[in-house]
Amino acid sequence: YPLVYVEWFTPFRSPDLIMGFYHISKLMRQGGHPYAEVIEADWLVRNCYLNP
């Protein structure tokens, strides 16, 4: 099975009133490490690109 590395983020919050962008944050574990997993590729529904 093909595998993918995924770093998880918080669910969407309300969009910014001026720019219209949604606010999210990277989920972090204790010690500052990202909350991430290796999952099967067929579990993905879609990917998205995040702007800084």
Angle, alpha carbons 46-51-52 (nearest 5°): 140
| pLDDT given at position 30 | 92
| pLDDT given at position 24 | 87
Structural domain for 3, as ranges: 1-52
Q: How many structural domains are present in the chain?
A: 1
Q: What token pair was written down for 29? A: 């574990």
Q: Do residues 37 and 18 touch, judged by C-beta distance below 8 A?
A: no
In the chain, the amino acid numbered 30 is Q
Q: Give, as one character, the DSSP assignment of residue 35.
A: -
Q: Please write the tens of the pLDDT for every residue from 1-52.
A: 899 999 999 988 889 899 888 888 899 999 999 999 999 999 998 877 776 6
